[in-house]
Amino acid sequence: MNTEAIEKIIEDIWETSAIPALKDYVAIPAKSPGFDPDWEANGYLMKALELAADWCRGQKLENADIRIVCTPGKSPVLLVEVGATGKDSAGDEGATTLFYGHLDKQPESEGWDAGKGPWIPVIEDGKLYGRGSADDGYAVFSAVSAIKALQMEGLSHGRCVILIETCEESGSFDLGHYLESLADVIGKPGLVVCLDSGTNDYERLWLTVSLRGLVAGTLRVDMLTRGVHSGGSGRAASSFRVMRQLLDRIEDAGTGEFLLPEYHARIPSDRLAQIRETAALAGDSIIGSIPLVTGARPLADTAEELLVNSSWKPVLSYIGADGFPSTATAGNVLRPFTSLKLSVRTPPTVDAEKAAAALKSVLEAEPPYGAKVSFDDIEAARGWNMPDMGDALFNRVVDTAEKCYGHKPAYVVQGGTIPLMDMLSRRLPSAKFLITGVLGPNANAHGPNEFLHLPYVKRLTAAVARIIAV
């Protein structure tokens, strides 16, 4: 394969059509259903899918079927099916390579730089800024560009299916339905390529080898039927004090240790070795990527411990609150209730459903002062620990990394969750997985100033093309 020729084709595709289309996509406020209850009426998710589908059709892939699949009441998906021209990269005659990505987005967030915004596409210093640019709008453009480049060079590829969903940021609650209803089209992929992960630098190919799971829900404490003058404090417990007592059941406030045994798992020896290798390779960037305020310290002094904390230890975050007026409008009132949205990232091998049940049981048992306590709106998504890649695919990935990047591949133990990976691992026990992506230093997915590193995504696309070529 002529790597330079592939890279040139991909450069042309991105500069002439993919980047302009991605800019249009950024401008669509296609928030995930969990953040936009009126998503169906608003039509933004469908608009994003139609934009991507139109772009895919414009690439005129050989032997391709491109369609949007809608089930009433379910978030829609984009399905691209491309006929095989040879064996797939996992080595099986006629097998399928399944590409995955998503087009739904996180909410806006505050703190964007002047002239930038979640729905304002801006290209600056080789980066495309805007919500969804890197998480995960680029995925469909990268997958199609890789296939197109092979076809333009007259190179063979296996049968390819690209599945792009629109509720990943809400936990992929509709994805299982489509995996079932589209099972005949998807087939039994020999290789799954997921383009929704991250990197620790923009200099090499990074392979994600584990993903954390997630347990989330809303913990609510009701103490009064209405707010009362705070002169009455001392007669009834504050709902926030009851909340603090409940939280002490599950987290050590001094150390951050999560206390429920159902949330802990042993780190496999090969993952620990990869964590140490990554820490040695990208140590300063791991520590420096945390935007701490002046004087604040990270939770560990070494890159290795930070990587372990953010990949194989359970961690509780408080991501939302109700029942509080703003500080500017807060009167001297004993509030009737306190509600917190809890999010627990779990180790990759933890059973998220059992962990969620344990959390609900502990939080709701024997409420302090007889308060009304509920833990509801529960979300549980299992993590993922990469199965063995096999020598043939691993050697191909190593060769690709060296030719496209000049380095051997490196490893990411990802702190985020991609529910599809666990679903597919259980449905397709013999499939190989290649999980990678563009979310590198300061890319800031889910936050302000999210960006797509354009030189890196082009190189990653070329690497994917090499890996799926046969």
- Give pLDDT, residue 180: 95
- Give pLDDT, residue 88: 52
CA distances from residue 412 to 157, 170, 385 in whole angstroms, order as listed: 27, 23, 12
pLDDT of 465 > 80? The answer is yes
- Give pLDDT, residue 93: 45
pLDDT of 92 > 60? The answer is no
Q: What percent of the chain has pLDDT over 70?
A: 98
Question: What is the spatial distance between Cα 153 and Cα 58, in angstroms, rounded to a whole number?
Answer: 18
Q: What is the dihedral of CA 287, 417, 125, 120, to 10 degrees?
A: -130
Parallel, antiparallel, or unpaired: how do β-strands 451-453 and 127-129 relate? Answer: antiparallel
Q: Is 296 exposed, middle or buried (0-12, 13-18, 19+ CB in 10 A)?
A: exposed
Q: Is 189 exposed, middle or buried (0-12, 13-18, 19+ CB in 10 A)?
A: buried
Contact yes or no for 442/380 (Cβ under 8 A):
no
- Per-residue pLDDT tens for 26-45? 999 999 999 999 999 999 99
Spacing of C-alpha 323 from chain mean position? 30
Please give the radius of gyration of the chain, using alpha carbons only, rounded to the nearest integer. Answer: 23
What is the pLDDT confidence band of residue 290, given thresholds at 50, 70 and 90?
confident
- Give pLDDT, residue 86: 65
Taking residues 267-286, report their average pLDDT: 91
What is the pLDDT confidence band of residue 74, given thresholds at 50, 70 and 90?
very high
pLDDT of 251 > 50? The answer is yes
> Angle at the Cα of 71 (from 69 to 77), degrees rounded to 5?
35
Residue 347 DSSP class: -
pLDDT of 470 > 90? The answer is no
Which residues contact residue 240 at a Cβ distance below 8 angstroms, ignoring those fewer than 6 apart? 221, 335, 338
Question: What is the spatial distance between Cα 112 and Cα 449, in angstroms, rounded to a whole number?
Answer: 5
Q: Do domains 3-211+383-468 and 213-263+312-381 have the same CATH topology?
A: no
What is the rounded average pLDDT for all residues in the chain? 95
What is the pLDDT confidence band of residue 285, given thresholds at 50, 70 and 90?
confident
Which helix (H) or strand (E) segment holds residue 209: the answer is strand 206-211
Question: For the residues of 303-321, what is the DSSP string, one character each?
Answer: HHHHHHHTTTS-EEEEEEE
Contact yes or no for 310/280 (Cβ under 8 A):
no
- Per-residue pLDDT tens for 433-453? 999 999 999 999 999 999 999
What is the pLDDT confidence band of residue 468, given thresholds at 50, 70 and 90?
very high
CA distances from residue 50 to 45, 327, 393 in whole angstroms, order as listed: 9, 43, 34
CATH class of 213-263+312-381: alpha beta
- Give pLDDT, residue 330: 95
- Comparing 214-218, 263-267, 287-291, 299-303, which segment has the lowest mean pLDDT? 287-291
Question: What is the spatial distance between Cα 104 and Cα 18, in angstroms, rounded to a whole number?
Answer: 18
Taking residues 286-298, report their average pLDDT: 88
Taking residues 105-134, report their average pLDDT: 97
What is the pLDDT confidence band of residue 398, given thresholds at 50, 70 and 90?
very high
For the domain spanning 3-211+383-468, the CATH number is 3.40.630.10
pLDDT of 145 > 70? The answer is yes
**The token pair that represents 453 in the structure block:** 């590193």
Task: Identify the bridge partners of residue 339 per DSSP, sorted by sequence position.
Answer: 220, 322
Q: Where are the domains of the chain?
A: 3-211+383-468, 213-263+312-381, 266-289+297-311
3-class secondary structure, 157? strand
Question: What is the spatial distance between Cα 69 and Cα 67, in angstroms, rounded to a whole number?
Answer: 6
Of residues 222 and 441, more confidence is placed in 222
- Comparing 106-115, 315-324, 421-430, 450-459, which segment has the lowest mean pLDDT? 421-430
Residue type, 82: V
Contact yes or no for 234/366 (Cβ under 8 A):
no
